[in-house]
Structure 1
């Protein structure tokens, strides 16, 4: 009887979290879209009515571009999540070499790493394998590394550390960047946390980590974030070990 009640409470809590996530997602999309298009319409109208000069117009274009890029990223992340919620999407586990995931990320982020003079290094078990959905794990690691690059200072190192245990594989992305205070860390998965600016002026709405947590749950894993202001952040993924 108690097990049935506990199971029911668990399902209710999961449903509440799912509804909260969806409501937050809709709120972000609507707010960002209104803000971006509103600013763009105001700017073009001001130019047409000659209430601003062409010089001022062009000075404001970089901000419009930044807002558009942020909005596009939100839409892309939201689309990735929606694909897991509707239609015939199913987890497709496959044997994946972790070193291969590292090499994929290293190649994808070569330009961004070079631009900031950052090094991306592998530590730990080079022979580790995981059995999970490639699309989901690549999305998750991409978003985590993206944040590590965004909040790292030029010349710093970022590590992908891999530990193989009896029942799980732990993948950790560690940076020595700006990090965050404990009060912000406590709200990292809610819609109350502030938007942080990267060390090169990059911005985001904090949506990616919320989707990352959802995807990790789909992969039957868990996530842990340890961070300190001005000392950096470690994001660890705990994934079931591949069946032999």
Structure 2
């Protein structure tokens, strides 16, 4: 319509109206009409361009949300794989021992008890992980609650009980009974499970792992120290970045290099910090600081 107005005004100027049809439109009026037509064209085009930009912003927002959701799903699958892989490997080793008939009668009874405990713990872990994954179907959500720290450590240590026995590790827990955090329980469990998994993985046979919780004013510092392989500065700088790497443990344990990246992200989501001190062949100390809770 704006274009038709402009053409009609141009036609009035270029082709004056014959006197038989009445008095012609003044040129001044025709010019005014042309200016109005041009302004209408500019206004209409600007309006529709703004609509287009809004649609583009909405599409980009949806694309970013989809990308974030896909990344969250990838992280959740990596958590499932990481937490299930260790007990499955333990069960496989125990069944291999049974298959080769290498046990005495007393050892067989003891190993059956270990198998029962491992299957029970694996079922509990899978149940917790599936419950958490259902909660995160729309993306990873952080739901802070107040909970006591010491029972969580004891639950996680049962998860690695057989590996600790195999490596003859000594575990020292210095966590006050009523010390509490305010954080997402499942995400905190993932953080501590990954850090303890690495401590066991890189500890030498007969080594020691020390778990300490320090009460600060508004936060709790959780220190997990091992006396294992340690790391140089290059590896420390790569730990919490997307430059993933995987190292085998002292007993040949495998890993995917994803655990510490998840630890860093979950710590950040819960308003905390994480850092590490380590020297080659002198062990590592991971420190996680999370908000303090009150019982």
Same fold by TM-score greater than 0.5: yes
Deviation at 1:94, TM superposition (A): 2.2
1:146 aligns with 2:146: no
1:92 aligns with 2:143: yes
1:233 aligns with 2:284: yes
Say if 2:226 and 2:283, in contact at 8 Å, map to a contact too: yes
- The SS at the match of 1:241 is strand
Alignment match, 1:206: 257
1:178 aligns with 2:229: yes
How many residues end up aligned between the 2 structures?
177
Deviation at 1:151, TM superposition (A): 0.2
Deviations 1:120-146 (Å, cap 9, x if unpaired)? 221143331111111111111001100
Q: Tell me the C-alpha RMSD between the 2 structures.
A: 3.1
Say if 1:125 and 1:164, in contact at 8 Å, map to a contact too: no
Aligned with residue 162 of structure 1, among 183, 198, 213: 213
Aligned with residue 132 of structure 1, among 163, 183, 187: 183
Deviation at 1:178, TM superposition (A): 0.1
Aligned with residue 219 of structure 1, among 260, 270, 273: 270
Alignment match, 2:47: none
Aligned with residue 123 of structure 1, among 147, 155, 174: 174
After TM superposition, the structure 1 = structure 2 runs for residues 61-76 of structure 1, keeping only pairs within 5 Å, are none
Gap change, CA 1:88 and 1:230, over 3 Å in 2? closer
Gap change, CA 1:132 and 1:195, over 3 Å in 2? same
Higher relative contact order (CA 8 A, sep 6+): 1
- The SS at the match of 1:186 is helix
Tell me how far apart the structure 2 counterparts of residues 150 and 80 of structure 1 sit (CA, whole Å). Answer: 27
Say if 1:106 and 1:120, in contact at 8 Å, map to a contact too: no
More strand by share: 1
Tell me how far apart the structure 2 counterparts of residues 103 and 195 of structure 1 sit (CA, whole Å). Answer: 27
Deviations 1:9-53 (Å, cap 9, x if unpaired)? xxxxxx9xx98x95xx79xx9xxxxxxxxxxxxxxxxxxxxxxxx
Deviation at 1:209, TM superposition (A): 0.5
Instruction: Compare CA radii of gyration and give the structure with the larger one.
Output: 2
Tell me how far apart the structure 1 counterparts of residues 148 and 136 of structure 2 sit (CA, whole Å). Answer: 27
- The SS at the match of 2:238 is coil
Gap change, CA 1:212 and 1:227, over 3 Å in 2? same
Deviations 1:131-173 (Å, cap 9, x if unpaired)? 1111111111001100000000010111110000111101111
More helix by share: 2
Say if 1:93 and 1:134, in contact at 8 Å, map to a contact too: yes
TM-score in terms of structure 2 length: 0.53
Deviation at 1:193, TM superposition (A): 5.1
- The SS at the match of 1:146 is helix
TM-score in terms of structure 1 length: 0.64
Tell me how far apart the structure 2 counterparts of residues 219 and 194 of structure 1 sit (CA, whole Å). Answer: 25
Say if 1:184 and 1:193, in contact at 8 Å, map to a contact too: no
Tell me how far apart the structure 1 counterparts of residues 267 and 289 of structure 2 sit (CA, whole Å). Answer: 9
Tell me how far apart the structure 2 counterparts of residues 80 and 119 of structure 1 sit (CA, whole Å). Answer: 32
